[in-house]
Amino acid sequence: MKRCSVFFVLLINLTPAYSKTVYVTNSLDLPLRSEESNKGKIISLLRTGTPLTVLKENSKSGFSRVKLQNGMEGFIATRNTMLQPPNNSQLDSSSKSLTSLQAETDNLREELAKAKAAITPGSSLEQSLAADRDRLDRELTEIKKASFNQIQIKDERDKLQEEVVNVRRELEQLKLENNALKDGATQDWFLYGGLLSLAGVILGFILPKLAWRRKSGWDRL
């Protein structure tokens, strides 16, 4: 008897404390994911009205952990569930929406097939598209060449400008050196002129005295 009591206690503890039945809303097939996120892997698509047993709800993530009648478990957005099964009008509306979407998909597939057939190899449209492609390729090549030439021209212009600046600097330096030489030559001429003038003055004093001494000597003889 005691073992039976323990078994029932364990059974009660293992039974999920939170459990209720909900149904998939009246939308198209909704994903059942492996994780509690929109990034989780889709493990099944649930049709409208599919009954689900809620094992746990997470208000923060907005997902509920649910269990299908076949035992599969996963996560579904809580907003995509409802407490009451959808009525027939809701199911009919969903079915009509699905049928309309399927018809639209079929039409788009037909248009895509026609478009593919229109551009089969050798057709006029395919040739026209190929010609446009070749023309665009040529234009792109010309644009690339023009851009490259512009870059080269800019580089050459920059180099020439740099050379002009260097030549101007050298010219200014030569002018300064030339002016310095001219100033030095002028100073030298002034110096030489002053020395010559001084020599003339000295000779002006010395020569008369020498002449007087010579005259005195001759007179004595």
Kindly report, residue by residue over 146-165, the tens digit of the pLDDT: 666 677 777 777 787 787 77
Mean of pLDDT values over 106-125: 70
Q: CA-CA distance, 178 to 125, in Å (whole number)?
A: 78
Q: pTM score, two decimals?
A: 0.34
- Maximum mean pLDDT: which of 49-63, 87-101, 112-126, 140-154: 49-63
Whether 14 shows a pLDDT value over 50: the answer reads no
Q: Does position 77 have pLDDT exceeding 60, yes or no?
A: yes
32-41, 61-70, 156-165, 211-220: range with highest mean pLDDT = 61-70
On average, the pLDDT of the chain sits at: 73
Mean pLDDT of 209-219: 56
Comparing 6-10, 46-50, 71-75, 81-85, the range with the smallest average pLDDT is 6-10
What topology does CATH give the domain 2-93? SH3 type barrels. (2.30.30)
